[in-house]
Amino acid sequence: MVRHGFMMVGTVGCGKTTIMNTLTRALTELDQPHRFNVMNPKAITGPQMYGVMNTVTGEWVPGVFS
Please report whether residue 9 resides in a domain.
no
pTM: 0.53
Cα distance between residue 4 and residue 25, in whole Å: 17
Question: What domain range includes position 44?
Answer: 16-62
**Can you say how many angstroms the Cα of residue 22 is from the centroid of all Cα atoms in its chain?**
17
What is the number of domains present in the chain?
A: 1
Cα distance between residue 53 and residue 27, in whole Å: 34
Please report whether residue 1 resides in a domain.
no
Report pLDDT for 2.
63
Please report whether residue 50 resides in a domain.
yes
- The mean pLDDT values, 10 residues at a time, for the chain of 66 residues are 73 92 89 78 86 92 82
| Radius of gyration, alpha carbons of the chain | 15
HEC-encoded secondary structure of 33-66:
CCCCCCCCCCCCCHHHHHEEECCCCCCEEECCCC
Please report whether residue 10 resides in a domain.
no
Please report whether residue 40 resides in a domain.
yes
Please report whether residue 47 resides in a domain.
yes
Please report whether residue 6 resides in a domain.
no
